[in-house]
Structure 1
Amino acid sequence: MKPNHHATTPRVDDIDPTFEPWEPSRPIPIFLLAVLIALALGGVGMYLSDLAPWADAGASDPVASIPAAPVTQAAPASPDSSTVQNAPVLVHAGRGSVWSCASCHGDQGQGAGSTPRLAGLDETYLAKQLRDFAAETRLNESMHYVARELTDQDIAEVAAYYASLPVPRLVLPQSDADLDRGRMLFEKGDWKRNVPACVSCHGDQGQGVGTSFPPLAAQRPEYLFNQLAAWKGGHRHNSPQSLMDDIASRLSYRDLYAVSNYAASLPGPGADAAH
């Protein structure tokens, strides 16, 4: 007699409906998710901080320990109305994709912060700088973008216009620069380091000499410091006979900061500066 299998085999109706043959998925705990997100954000923060070399004012960075240059304000100048009326279109309106000169250098060429004063600079000097920017023998991405679009006539007109403007009065707040050291470097130099006085090339009052040595007086201190630092760091190379490259390389960043602020404190030619 054959065994009755139907008596021992469970029917479908007898299977436990709660039985699950596969391991059910379990949600990741919220705490673990929070830890993973925090680690990811921390890694991004560390990466971004590495992209900002001046964020950590460590002793190994010679520039980071230099105090920020003081904010300066320029008292309004009073250019002749006919001069303003005859300004080239590029100065106040720009052309095509090229923005106006005034959008960065001010409506009277007074500059701001690290953007230099153009008013009262030598016409030939200004034209040379524009050509150097265009040719990238002087490096500045924004100025290269503008200057490469200028014709020879544009350069001549813009340079002549800014040279004709009066030097604005520059009002400097209290500075933490060592102005005594700055004055010594400006007037006498530092012959222990083979550094000549600024006055030997730029004039006894920093008024500028000829077409190669621009005025330092009443120029933006932030701009002066940035350019000296660029020469020292090997990022600017268009001074006559590489004079400024050599001089700046022999001075510390604190000296560069001191002489920049002292030179800026001098009244420019024709300017009634208040300090």
Structure 2
Amino acid sequence: MSVAKAQDAAAERAPDTMEARVLGCAACHGAHGEGTNNDYFPRLSSKPAGYLYNQLIAFRDGQRQYPPMNYLLAYMPDAYLHKIAEYFAQQRPPYPPPVAPSVSAALVRRGEQLVKEGDAANQIPACTACHGAALTGREPGIPGLLGLHAEYVSAQLGAWRYGTRKSIAPDCMHDVASRLSNDDISAVAAWLAASPGPANPAPAARGSMKLPLACGSEPQ
């Protein structure tokens, strides 16, 4: 091959960077993991790398079922999944604008109560007690809850409730979701989607709060 042809071939070759490698994620999750307009493709950016890694492993190994993700990750080794998780955890794109709730004002108020205060009578802890006061998650494995579509949040809470999404025992999210009524789920999802994200999306530090219940995936 001539020098000129070799230079042309090198110029056409995609850069070997994580940004280039994760372009396959962009169609569903956005170029920087910021999410898209599709209700069921979540924001990935700024979530703790430990949480993202656990979800990639769960999709690869079949604990979470979504065929495109299961297929995409089927042969990826742990070390590479770590790199993907770390890449998206470091991204800091802005949050999408809040979405006006499609439920009643009373239901939105109920959602705010559950998120900020919980419901002691029904043994439901506040979302902020685990996901942080700013709802940006907590290192190493608790995700942020803002910048997500209401439909996605509702679907995930339903999956936790009915056991189609699982975690290491004791499965705290299953326990919490099982105590929520259908209206509670709609309320929480609507309030979160209608809430603006903070300027700093970084998750809270590990050990910054004591969790209100035992979680197998997030040991104290």
Provide TM-score, normalisation by structure 1: 0.61
Query: Which residue pairs with 2:22 in the alignment?
Result: 91
Q: Secondary structure at the match of 1:261?
A: helix
Query: Which residue pairs with 2:120 in the alignment?
Result: 191
**Which of 62, 65, 69 in structure 2 is aligned with 1:143?**
69
Quick one: distance in 2 between partners of 1:124 and 1:189?
Answer: 26
Residue 235 of structure 1 pairs with residue 164 of structure 2: yes
Check the 8 A contact 1:166/1:270 in 2, yes or no: no
| CA positional deviation for 1:89 | 3.7
Measured against aligned partners, the alpha-carbon deviations of 1:29-87 in whole angstroms (never above 9, x if no partner) come to xxxxxxxxxxxxxxxxxxxxxxxxxxxxxxxxxxxxxxxxxxxxxxxxxxxxxxx9943
Correspondence 1:137-176 to 2 at 5 A: 137-176=63-102
Higher relative contact order (CA 8 A, sep 6+): 2
Quick one: distance in 2 between partners of 1:122 and 1:211?
Answer: 6
Q: Secondary structure at the match of 2:18?
A: coil
Residue 121 of structure 1 pairs with residue 56 of structure 2: no
Residue 202 of structure 1 pairs with residue 131 of structure 2: yes
Residue 102 of structure 1 pairs with residue 26 of structure 2: yes
| CA positional deviation for 1:138 | 2.1
Quick one: distance in 1 between partners of 2:123 and 2:194?
Answer: 25
| CA positional deviation for 1:172 | 2.7
The alignment of Structure 1 onto Structure 2 pairs a total of residues equal to 182
| CA positional deviation for 1:240 | 6.0
Tell me which amino acid in the other structure corresponds to 2:102.
Answer: D
Give % identity: 33
Quick one: distance in 2 between partners of 1:258 and 1:201?
Answer: 18
Tell me which amino acid in the other structure corresponds to 1:194.
Answer: Q
Check the 8 A contact 2:48/2:138 in 1, yes or no: no
Check the 8 A contact 2:100/2:194 in 1, yes or no: no
**Which of 182, 187, 204 in structure 2 is aligned with 1:253?**
182
Quick one: distance in 2 between partners of 1:135 and 1:263?
Answer: 30
The runs of 5 or more residues in structure 1 that have no matched partner are 1-83, 93-99
The runs of 5 or more residues in structure 2 that have no matched partner are 1-14, 202-220
Q: 1:216 to 1:124 in 2, by over 3 A?
A: same
Residue 265 of structure 1 pairs with residue 189 of structure 2: no
Quick one: distance in 2 between partners of 1:164 and 1:174?
Answer: 29
Check the 8 A contact 2:50/2:139 in 1, yes or no: no
Q: 1:170 to 1:240 in 2, by over 3 A?
A: farther
CA RMSD, Structure 1 to Structure 2 (Å)? 2.2
Correspondence 1:62-81 to 2 at 5 A: none
| CA positional deviation for 1:212 | 2.3
Query: Which residue pairs with 1:111 in the alignment?
Result: 35
Quick one: distance in 2 between partners of 1:85 and 1:183?
Answer: 45
**Which of 130, 136, 145 in structure 2 is aligned with 1:216?**
145
| CA positional deviation for 1:140 | 2.0
Quick one: distance in 2 between partners of 1:162 and 1:254?
Answer: 33
Tell me which amino acid in the other structure corresponds to 1:107.
Answer: A
Bigger radius of gyration = 1
Q: Using the TM superposition, name which of 170-179 and 193-202 deviates more.
A: 170-179
| CA positional deviation for 1:218 | 2.3
Provide TM-score, normalisation by structure 2: 0.75
Quick one: distance in 1 between partners of 2:76 and 2:49?
Answer: 16
Quick one: distance in 2 between partners of 1:85 and 1:264?
Answer: 36
